[in-house]
A = this chain, B = another copy of it.
Amino acid sequence: MTTEIITTTSDIDVVNAFEKLMEYKISSLPVVEEDKLIGIITATDVGHNLILDKYELGTSVEEIMITSVVTISPEDTLEKAINVMKEGGSSSGILNQLPVVEDEKLVGIISDGDIIQVIF
């Protein structure tokens, strides 16, 4: 997993959060409050809604973040991670990013690409 995680707080504007996603070339941005994971936003969803003008001006991350975040624990197996990614996904595909949480604190993030890189 990646342990140097770029995060955001919930009070910033979605436009700024999207800029952060693009600047760091990341596909999801965990939302934290004192190291605790309280939500997540994805570049795909935020970009889609911004382009289609679906947010009112001044919308904050808090208003649009996913709060029921699918996570795994550092002790979980890769097999478990894959299953969670498949179950948490939609018809358009699996979850591409999975935050790793220990005692409610965000300690890492793992992507589908990371898994392919390790397994094969």
Residue count of chain A within 8 Å CB distance of chain B = 33
A58 adjacent to chain B (CB < 8 Å): no
Give 1 or 0 for each of A74-99: 1 = CB within 8 Å of chain B CB.
00000100110110010011101000
Copy count, this protein chain: 2
Decide if B25 touches A50 in the complex (CB within 8 Å): no
Decide if A25 touches B92 in the complex (CB within 8 Å): yes
CB within 8 Å for A86 and B23 given contacts A47-B43, A47-B47:
no
A116 adjacent to chain B (CB < 8 Å): yes
The interface of chain A, by Cβ under 8 A from chain B, is 18-19, 21-23, 25, 27, 43-45, 47-48, 50-52, 79, 82-83, 85-86, 89, 92-94, 96, 111-117, 120
